[in-house]
Structure formats: structure tokens, C-alpha cells
Amino acid sequence: MRLLFLGDIVGRPGRTAVVERLPRLRERWSLDLVVINGENAAGGFGITEAICDEVLAAGADVITLGNHSFDQREALVFIERQPRLLRPANYPRGTPGRGATVVEARNGARVLVMNVMGRLFMDPLDDPFTVVAQELEACPLGAACDAVVIDMHAEATSEKQGLAAFVDGRASLVVGTHTHVPTADGRVLPGGTAYLSDAGMCGDYDSILGMQKDEPIRRFLEKTPGSRLEAASGEGTLAGIAVETDDATGLAHRVAHVRIGPHLAPSGPDFWE
């Protein structure tokens, strides 16, 4: 199976990059499944139903979220009727939406996609390790599904690595999101789980984490209230990870960083070209 995971969409540059490039990539790389984190898609803060529909129409199979899941209040309502939009599974009981879903990939495979949020330097949610273990017990790889993709939305690299080691051999891919900076440690772990500490963002990298530079710099200098952060407006870059899994086991056997656009060194899955 051929999987593509793209990092946090930030504002219009990220949305434009996805909408314009993803349809061609699906065909060029014969992708079976595409998962995208969209928690910053609406001007850098949350996601609207119109944007969700636009990203799904462009070729995403599932959209994951994070700590900005409900910055757009309409998400509290439409997330209930959109099964392909996931908020972190370790949000408290009663939170609208769902944290995991099983979707059918283009090749007919059943894929469990899960979204969890870390607790180090983040909001103190339920234990993500316990929640992941429960989901994997309910839908184990190789029995109830053919692949497992986990978006670990977290600040601390150690927590992301810890979760990946915890599920190594039981998931196809564990990928970190949230920091908007792509890491260089994409690899297959000893048990066969693909891993990347952070997928980076789909957005304008001539920015500060996808935002216009002036206000963040002012805040660093003055430490006083100021204007609202605004998404940068330059050309967006796609960033993420491409994973190929073994059909027999659902585990990964090769990965490649994906970077398409200005400001970052280009990278892609040469083994699919």
C-alpha cells in the first residue's frame, strides 16, 4: 500500500498548495491513502466545513486535527456529521466528534486512522498511550484492518518517539504534527512501524511557523498584548512523509520525506517514480 501523510495545513498558502498539487500526486504516485492534518487550515486557527470539504475533494481521505480543533466554533457541529474529520481521541468524554475511524483505501484495504494529542507542554488531556492501546486492541493490525496510521499531535519529540516505540510492530505509521517544522528522522523502526517526529506544515515557510513575522517578533521583544496573528501569504510548500507498506503484514518497508515547494530542499519518494 502507498500512503501519504501531509503536515498541518496553515492558512490559504497551505490550502492552495494542497488543492493544486495533491490531485496530481495521487495519480503520479498511485496513492492508496492520503491523510492530512488540517487544524490550522482556517487562517491558522482551526478548520471550517467549507475548507474541510475542499481538502477532501482535493484527494484527502482523512483530515486530522489537534489543539486548535475547535477554534472555529462551527466545528463543534459539523464534525459530528463528517466521519473523515478526526479530533484527538484523548479529548475528554463528551467532546464532539471522534478520534479514530476505519476507511477504505483506494486499493480496497481497510485502514485505521487515529489522532491523539500529547500532554507534555500541551493541554492536560487523557493519556494518549492508553487511548492508542485501546484503539489497537479493538482494531488490531492484520486482523480487523490492513494498515494503521497514527497522527501524534504533540510538542515534545520524546513523547512522539515514546508512542512510536510503544506501538512498533502494531502500526504502519506514527507521525508527529504540531511544531510545523519538518524533521529529518523519517525511518522504519525495528518492528516495522514507519516514524517521523514531525511532518512539518503545508504552508508558507517564509514565515514564523506559517504566520506573518512582524507580530511574533514584536511579542518576543515586548512581551505585551498586540494584534492577532495572521497567516503568511506567500507560496505554500507541501511537507510530509510517503510510506510503502507490505500488503501481507501492513507494516512499512520504505519511507521518504516529502517536500514540494519553495524555501525547503525538495524531496520525494524516488522509489515510486
The residues that are catalytic are 68
Whether residue 34 contacts residue 204, with contact meaning beta carbons closer than 8 Å, is answered with no
